[in-house]
Amino acid sequence: MAGTAIITGATGGIGDAVTRRLIREGFRVVAVGTRRAALDDLCARQGCEGIAVDIGDGDAVEAALAGLGADVLVHGAGILGPNLPIHRTPAQTVAQLIAVNVTGLFNVVRAVVPGMIERQHGTVVLLGSICGNVAGSGPGVYSATKAAMQSVAANLRFELQETAVRVGEIRLGRVRTGIHGQLGMDADFYDGYECILPDDVASTISHMLATPPAVDLSVIEMMPTRQVAGGTRFSKS
């Protein structure tokens, strides 16, 4: 399978790995991010196309993505934010997390999925987190946004049941991407732990895309072997 793949959050660790993998498999990759310099670097290294856009801006997303004729959408854009209790998270932080992680998700889906329905072809892969359904495994507000993603994935899958468009969600445990630096904690979230690597996620997405068109891998929980399912415990190797 090949065609056009849109990857949001493409300049992050997972996005970079997915971009590299799909280009190797013959896809035309359109990398979406907010940092123009990072996108230019990615395009120079990987040979993809780059679009800089704020996914929280619905009109801008529609203008940038709607006409691309995507066969694949890998939505990985998102921010983690600080490790604060819900009742102590500043309103500005809450608004930013919702704008990127929730409103941004709706904007991207609204721009891309109608074209897939019209062509009766396409696969949507949403990169979620185990914290969306396991209390205490992530910051409260971020976890709430990932719970919203789980609901979007399930409802989108239901709404598209009479089409040939597939929807899959990967609920990730700890991935060594560096995003945990946003938590603002002294703890080292990687040292001594055998975490999932971005290339592992890219391989899983490649498998999802390679399954027969009549097969939809709707929900995948992807965990490090030593991290207990649900994510509440993680032993060092």
Task: Report domain extents, the chain.
Answer: 4-222
Residue 142 bears catalytic tag: yes
Distances (CA, A) of 57 to 5, 25, 89, 103, 176: 21, 31, 23, 8, 29
- 160-162-163 Cα angle (round to 5): 65
CATH of domain 4-222: 3.40.50.720
Residues 71, 101, 103, 142: which is the catalytic one? 142
pTM of this structure: 0.92
pLDDT in tens, 12-49: 999 999 999 999 999 999 999 999 999 999 999 999 99
CA–CA gap between residue 225 and residue 196 (Å, rounded)? 9
pLDDT in tens, 77-136: 999 888 899 999 999 999 999 999 999 999 999 999 999 999 999 999 999 999 899 888
